Chain A
């Protein structure tokens, strides 16, 4: 079975600083995908970034980048130049190749202070 662990229940960061949200995963399957989603207080889930297990380079999407360390089974999300609107819950998730469902971590609540 797959498992996602997010060890930071809450993070507080000053506006414009960079922030790293931790995510470690556990799977025995060699082919999998890792996802990060943002959930504002309104509840919708917003897809941020994806990393495939065979991708050679770390994924980047605008201010979001993924620090993928396969040997350590970690997929940390880095948000550069944080903004007040980045305040939200952030979930890391894994899906193994061929499976349909996403398995989510417990989430990290990020608060950006002005």
Chain B
């Protein structure tokens, strides 16, 4: 089946630094990828929709200047958490689908800890 690879799986960074998370579709082309955030014991909340070759669409309340999304190719989207703070510590997970109406395939997620 479709595989989505996310890297790194875990990252610890210091407050004020930036962290880049990669999301790759390994065996299909994804014109659209999605970035979710999940706080402990909570549900997945959509942060933004990443469109290949164009600007990402952010959900209400998500700071676009803080969470930079780049979707430069049909198989790669990146999320950069800029000037990270402890409150940005969370589980970030990306997803993509092969064609319209197919299920989303998720990466394994990135657990970010900001100290």
Chain A residues close to B by CB (< 8 Å): 33, 35, 37, 42-47, 50, 91, 97, 100-107
Contacts and interface: CB of A to CB of B under 8 A. Distances in A.
B44 interface: yes
A105 B111 contact: no
A105 B107 CA distance: 19
A95 to B, nearest CB: 8
Contact of B34 (A33, A35, A46, A101): A101
Contacts of B105: 47
A101 B49 contact: yes
Contacts of B106: 37, 44-47
Contacts of A35: 103-104
A42 B107 CA distance: 12
A37 B103 CA distance: 10
Contacts of A46: 106
Contact of A43 (B45, B93, B95, B104): B93
B93 A45 contact: yes
Main secondary structure of the interface of A (DSSP, over half): loop
25 contacts: A33-B101, A35-B103, A35-B104, A37-B106, A42-B108, A43-B93, A43-B108, A43-B109, A43-B111, A44-B107, A44-B108, A44-B109, A45-B44, A45-B93, A45-B95, A45-B104, A45-B106, A47-B105, A50-B103, A91-B43, A101-B46, A102-B95, A104-B43, A104-B44, A104-B45
Contacts of B49: 100-101
B71 to A, nearest CB: 13
B42 interface: yes
B43 A105 contact: yes
